[in-house]
Amino acid sequence: MRQREEKYYRRKVNTSYITSVISISLVLFTLGVLGFFVINAKSISRYIRENIGFEIIMEQNTREADILHLQKMLDTKPYVKSTEYITKEEAARRLSDALGEDFTGFFSDEDNPLLPSIDVRFNAEWANNDSLAKIQTFVLSNKGVKDVYYQKSLIHIINRNLRRISFILLGLSLLLLIIAVALINNTIRLAIYSRRFIIRSMQLVGATRTFIQKPFIIKGIVQGITSAVIALILLTAIIAGLWNNLPELKPLSSPEMLLFLYLFVLVTGMFVSGILTYFAVRKYLNLKPDRLYG
């Protein structure tokens, strides 16, 4: 009978431990996913801004040498990230690809109505309407430039939404961190609650508080590390899947930032579990015997 009770109790403790590990792992995984987007928010924002630019439309009879001279001059400017010279023939090819139909057969190369252009992309710091308006004025003052085209309203919307998303992600991160600590705290308290009689028995035989707390805290830290490792395995799978489906996002994630994220999840699991275990055990050390059954 006694052996059966011990097996039942041991099974209950093991089940409680596994449940705690899974619960903490899921919380840390969720925190890690949001952390991944937070640390990459700046890189993603820069990537989007640096894909904002405008198209410089040249006059029909502008010499290619003049166009290339303008392109080289723009390349030397601190606000320019990259430029691309698009000839009339290249413009016709791109339009045919976009329409899915080759319309160039209706006219000769000399009669091509499309104009040569220079596609310009800017560094992120300059990708705003005020800066682009000044750059536009400068470009229009150059010989052979017919017009400059860019979507002012789209740039304003992008910059406004990027700021909003940054604040939202920061707020969600703080909120999730608080929720994560609360959930981990409740999980650990439930696990310690199932062992409250062991703590009381150790007190009755004269064990010191430090002696009682030490194995629980060590187990709590190990539990946190185990949960963090499981969370990181899941996080790695998610990141790998994201990179496979969106390979252009891979260069935005630096190894240093990913290492920082992994260390953050590992330290959070280890430190938070250890600290919360300490307080949970201390609660039952200070609890009156008649309240152990409550």
Going along the chain from its start, the domains and CATH numbers come out as 2-47+158-291 (no CATH), 53-149 (3.30.70.3040)
Give the span between the Cα atoms of 46 and 24, in whole angstroms.
Answer: 34
Mean pLDDT over the full length of the chain: 78
Instruction: Please give the share of the chain, as a percent, with pLDDT higher than 90.
Output: 6
222-278 pLDDT, tens per residue?
Answer: 888 998 999 999 999 988 888 888 777 777 777 888 898 899 899 988 888 888 888
Give the span between the Cα atoms of 121 and 16, in whole angstroms.
Answer: 57
The SS3 assignment for 53 reads strand
Instruction: State both tokens at 81.
Output: 């990230």
Q: Cα–Cα–Cα angle for 114, 117, 121, nearest 5°?
A: 140
The string of DSSP letters for 198-242 reads HHHHHHHTT--HHHHHHHHHHHHHHHHHHHHHHHHHHHHHHHHHH
The answer to whether 221 and 274 have CB atoms below 8 angstroms apart is: yes
The SS3 assignment for 119 reads strand
Q: CA dist 83 to 49, 63, 126, 181, 229, Å? A: 15, 18, 15, 49, 45
Lowest mean pLDDT, pick from 56-65, 191-200, 235-244, 257-266: 191-200
Instruction: Please give the share of the chain, as a percent, with pLDDT higher than 70.
Output: 82
Give the span between the Cα atoms of 133 and 141, in whole angstroms.
Answer: 13
Query: β-strand 53-58 against 80-86: which pairing, if any?
Result: unpaired
